[in-house]
């Protein structure tokens, strides 16, 4: 099945028909009793094949921010179409990687775990390289997931995947492909939704973590409960691949700023929560108010940002040198209180920058703001939950 304009094109009816053949096996029965978990490997952690020991921590941080900016083009208003069934094919610029195996016998690949994509996709031979398009086949094969908690290996027979042949991008043999965790019909989450009760969660470790290993949980393992949990409605709207939340305001200490101006809408579903975007981004008009409010609260020397995507930077050798304000995200029914770890990042020696920025009228809740939170998605009950957690 051919594709053009950087997308696999397929019929929803075909996808629905194939999903009906997805049957549980013994490992699934065992997994459903206790759920299962997998590792999420940060692209720049020592366990990643992309780890470069010659890079300094500052270089890794700045490169990660630059990769995140490149990815943002797919969120531009002209890209987000409200019609048609399509799945994105992108280059290897993601933040977190996950091991899965395809076929029988299983062939292991390391791919991007992405809540902003809906297709499980990898490169296939023969692989040619041409400009401005990507062609591939829609296929059915077995996906195997190995539990990181000592549970059974999970086998998913007759799973829909994409197999790319003519790809324009920066994939490499170290890691090529996408594990779509989004809300689209052919994402990994959707295809095994009934077997995990529509639940998954992750806990992202800070950049400073030595291991760089985070966890993603499925089924009963993914339930977020206990003291400190807050939940906000998950809004269903096109395109279904993205997870939309409703942000009502942001507080900077006692300064509460009502959120307005998102091109995604003025009320419900006005912000996307994403596992592949590093910064948290807002429309320029709202960001200017937020920037000014934060700057008024900080008594330190403001300096130029080392890269264009950052806006508010200060002279500091450690983030705890700055007396940063308390920032609270007021999602609908859920006030998420961020720590300095979530709001400021030491991007290079002597420079600490605000983790929030602006981009083309869109609002995206990125991974820096999610670190050290257990973030749970409940697709059946249409909710996203947050619980402060020491993820490392």
Q: What's the mean pLDDT in 54-64?
A: 73
> Do residues 389 and 246 touch, judged by C-beta distance below 8 A?
no
Task: Say which range, 62-76, 130-144, 225-239, has the weakest mean pLDDT.
Answer: 62-76
Confidence of residue 231 (pLDDT cuts 50, 70, 90): very high
Report the pLDDT value the prediction gives residue 123, as an integer from 0 to 100. Answer: 77
Confidence of residue 312 (pLDDT cuts 50, 70, 90): very high
Q: How far apart are CA 231 and CA 235, in angstroms?
A: 13
Strand partners of residue 213: 41
Task: Say which range, 82-86, 89-93, 138-142, has the weakest mean pLDDT.
Answer: 82-86
* pLDDT mean across residues, the chain: 80
Q: What's the mean pLDDT in 32-54?
A: 75
CATH number given to 224-388: 2.40.70.10
Q: What's the mean pLDDT in 9-31?
A: 40
Q: How far apart are CA 239 and CA 81, in angstroms?
A: 7
Report the pLDDT value the prediction gives residue 234, as an integer from 0 to 100. Answer: 97
Does 224-388 match 3-221 at the fold level?
yes
> Do residues 368 and 355 touch, judged by C-beta distance below 8 A?
yes
More confident residue, 322 or 257: 257
Strand partners of residue 373: 388
Instruction: Provide the 10 A C-beta neighbour count for residue 157.
Output: 16
Going by C-beta distance under 8 Å and a sequence separation of 6 or more, which residues neighbour residue 162? Answer: 8, 87, 89, 119, 120, 121, 122, 136, 137, 138, 139
Q: Which residue has the tokens 């007396």?
A: 323
**Omega before 229 within 30 of 0, i.e. cis:** no
Confidence of residue 71 (pLDDT cuts 50, 70, 90): low
Does domain 3-221 bear CATH number 2.40.70.10? yes
Q: What's the mean pLDDT in 65-82?
A: 57
Instruction: Provide the 10 A C-beta neighbour count for residue 4.
Output: 11
Q: What are the helix (H) ranges across the chain?
A: 12-19, 26-34, 57-71, 188-191, 284-297, 340-343, 367-370
Catalytic residue among 44, 88, 118, 274: 274
Q: What's the mean pLDDT in 240-267?
A: 92
Active-site residue 255, yes or no? Answer: no
DSSP state of 76: S
Task: Say which range, 64-78, 210-224, 362-376, has the weakest mean pLDDT.
Answer: 64-78
Report the pLDDT value the prediction gives residue 59, as an integer from 0 to 100. Answer: 73
Query: Phi first, then psi: what are they for 25, rounded to 5°?
Result: -120, -175
Confidence of residue 87 (pLDDT cuts 50, 70, 90): very low
pLDDT value at 27 more than 70 = no
More confident residue, 291 or 86: 291
Report the pLDDT value the prediction gives residue 265, as an integer from 0 to 100. Answer: 72
Catalytic residue among 44, 114, 118, 378: 114
Report the pLDDT value the prediction gives residue 43, as an integer from 0 to 100. Answer: 74
Report the pLDDT value the prediction gives residue 126, as an integer from 0 to 100. Answer: 67
Active-site residue 291, yes or no? Answer: no
More confident residue, 58 or 303: 303
**What 3-state class would DSSP assign to 25?**
coil
Domain spans of the chain, in order of start: 3-221, 224-388
pTM score, whole prediction: 0.83
Q: What's the mean pLDDT in 39-59?
A: 75
pLDDT value at 65 more than 90 = no
pLDDT value at 23 more than 70 = no
Q: What's the mean pLDDT in 251-268?
A: 89
Q: What's the mean pLDDT in 326-353?
A: 94
pLDDT value at 100 more than 60 = yes
Whole-number percent of the chain with pLDDT over 90 = 44
């Amino acid at each position: 099945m051919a594709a053009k304009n950087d997308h696999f094109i397929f019929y929803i009816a075909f996808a629905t028909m194939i999903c009906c053949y997805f049957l549980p096996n013994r490992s699934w029965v065992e997994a459903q009793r206790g759920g299962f978990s997998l590792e999420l490997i940060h692209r720049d952690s020592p366990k990643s094949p992309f780890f470069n020991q010659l890079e300094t921590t500052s270089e890794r941080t700045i490169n990660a921010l630059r990769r995140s900016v490149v990815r943002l083009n797919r969120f531009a208003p002209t890209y987000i179409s409200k019609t048609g069934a399509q799945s994105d094919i992108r280059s290897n610029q993601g933040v977190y990687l996950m091991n899965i195996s395809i076929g029988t016998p299983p062939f292991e690949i390391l791919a991007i775990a992405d809540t902003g994509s809906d297709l499980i996709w990898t490169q296939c031979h023969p692989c040619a390289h041409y400009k401005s398009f990507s062609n591939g086949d829609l296929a059915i094969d077995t996906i195997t997931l190995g539990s990181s908690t000592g549970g059974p290996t999970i086998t998913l027979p007759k799973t829909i995947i994409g197999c790319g042949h003519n790809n324009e991008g920066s994939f490499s043999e170290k890691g090529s492909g996408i594990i779509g965790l989004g809300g689209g019909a052919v994402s990994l989450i959707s295809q095994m939704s009934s077997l995990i009760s529509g639940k998954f969660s992750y806990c992202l470790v800070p950049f400073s973590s030595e291991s760089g290993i985070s966890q993603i949980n499925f089924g009963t393992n993914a339930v977020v409960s206990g003291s400190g949990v807050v939940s906000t409605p998950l809004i269903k709207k096109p395109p279904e691949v993205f997870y939309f939340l409703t942000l009502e305001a942001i507080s900077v200490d006692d300064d509460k700023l009502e959120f307005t101006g998102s091109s995604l809408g003025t009320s419900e579903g006005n912000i996307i929560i994403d596992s592949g975007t590093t910064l948290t981004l807002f429309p320029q008009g709202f960001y200017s108010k937020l920037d000014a409010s934060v700057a008024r609260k900080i008594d330190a020397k403001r300096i130029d940002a080392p890269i264009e995507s950052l806006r508010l930077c200060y002279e500091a050798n450690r983030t705890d040198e700055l007396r940063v304000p308390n920032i609270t995200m007021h999602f609908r029914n859920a006030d998420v209180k961020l720590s300095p770890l979530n709001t400021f990042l030491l991007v290079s020696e002597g420079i600490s920058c605000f983790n929030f920025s602006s981009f083309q009228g869109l609002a995206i809740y990125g991974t820096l703001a999610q670190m050290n939170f257990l973030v749970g998605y409940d697709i059946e009950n249409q909710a996203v939950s947050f619980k402060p957690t020491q993820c490392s």
